[in-house]
Structure 1
Amino acid sequence: MDERHGEVNVSQRGTYRVIAAELTRRIKDGTYAAGSLLPSEPTLAKEFGVARNTIRSALGTLEAAGAVEALPGQGRRIAGEPDQGVESTTAYERVAAALRAGIQEGKFDAELPLPSEVRLMDEHGVSRNTVRRAYRLLQEEGTIVIRHGAGAFVAPTADDAAQQQRGGR
């Protein structure tokens, strides 16, 4: 232990310190705005080419400095009040919003399953649980239906139901 600083004596060139410095630079230059969520640990680990534990150490440094705050089950948010126009949303809400927008724009055929969990994980750089929470949110609001063993589908609209009753497709 370094008695002067109360921390373990670690090389000043430690990888996690370099990553923490880069993330701090991004916060200061506005790449990551106050109130917004940082990318997920797996996304950062992939970007920097390091293990998640290295990313956790870097994020721990930022938390100790008060630059970010951990939100259990959501991620880490940049400290401070969000600027106008910056939405402070969770990863699963962002995934749900992207799916909702695609549904509203007609990008998904009601007869075909929505993108798989794995595909959404890759597209958004999030965990399987995050994708499942997004799907659950959309299911609860009635936007999609989940058919066990078949996948998630766009929920039928009132027009679809009326057309089906008339025998049309």
Structure 2
Amino acid sequence: MPRVSKPTDHAYDTIAAELRLRIESGELPAGAPMPSESQLCREFGKSRGTVRRALQLLEEAGLTQVGQGQVRRVRGDEPLPHAPYEKVAEALTAEIEAGTRRPGDKVPSAADLAATHGVAIGTAQRALKVLENRGLLTSGGVRGRLVAGSPDGSLELGQVGQVAAALAATIRDGKHPVGSRLPGERKIAETYGVARVTVQSALTQLAEQGLIERQSRGKGRLVLRQET
């Protein structure tokens, strides 16, 4: 009997991540129908099984839902949920940025993080890998993972202000002109190598300065004016 072929890689994670970015940026706004399986197969050059798994991940994350006529759409008004590993990564990042965990401090193991946050060990391991990729953690050999930087506190803090200033500069320089929308939180986080909680705080600062305002669900943040 011929074997049924199954996806052998994690291409579905890549597809799901790309579609999530489109949702967060407003390219796929609330209520919009998701691209069909056939369209996604053609776009990404992957099998229907891989595409279905990617769409299932989005539904499990609460980003999409199947409505009347079995049409899959972007969900409505509630804030976008974070993936479990993102929540763990952002909680750790917030502790580092607040100085609760100082450069050179040992970070809890994946098992300890899993128990603390009520997630799987694999989820905690993924969160730790994210922080390593951001340069916030480093390997301490037998000591495990450590907060990056030296004990004198040379790790950069004040990231919220730095991101807010950088975004204000893009508005001032015309990269994001008045009336345009800023990129989604996840895209900004990837651009500046920070956590989404950092981006959210930076965006709050810009909103308090009257530079941007948050639009309705799925429409992102609108640039109101340039700095004077």
TM-score, scaled to structure 1:
0.46
Higher-RCO chain (CA-CA 8 Å, sequence separation at least 6):
2
